[in-house]
């Protein structure tokens, strides 16, 4: 039986400026790519608009031994 661990990610985890509540799209993509290299897979994402900016939150999972 496969076992998984889960991680919640959010644009607030990214420390640079741009389109997503002061975060650049490229910074978000880089952040998600780094998690992918660590074995994380994005399985759900929610985009939202708050205080005039856009944000996202997502659920990542990866298999554990």
Residue 28 clears pLDDT 70, i.e. is over it: yes
CATH code, domain carrying 20: 3.30.70
Binning pLDDT at 50, 70 and 90, where does residue 33 land? very high
Q: Supply the pLDDT for residue 1.
A: 92
From 28, 29, 33, select the one nearest 13 (Cα to Cα): 28
Q: Supply the pLDDT for residue 42.
A: 93
The total of structural domains in the chain comes to 1
Residue 54 clears pLDDT 60, i.e. is over it: yes
Residue range of the domain that includes 16: 3-64
- 58 or 47, higher pLDDT: 58
What residues contact 56, with CB distance under 8 A and at least 6 apart? 10, 11, 20, 28, 45, 46, 47, 48
Q: Supply the pLDDT for residue 31.
A: 80
């Amino acid at each position: 039986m496969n076992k998984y661990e889960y991680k919640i990610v959010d644009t607030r985890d990214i420390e640079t400026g741009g389109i997503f509540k002061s975060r650049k799209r490229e910074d978000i993509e880089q952040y998600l790519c780094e998690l992918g290299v660590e074995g994380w897979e994005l399985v759900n994402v929610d985009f939202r608009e708050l205080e005039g900016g856009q944000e996202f939150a997502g659920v990542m999972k990866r298999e554990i031994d």
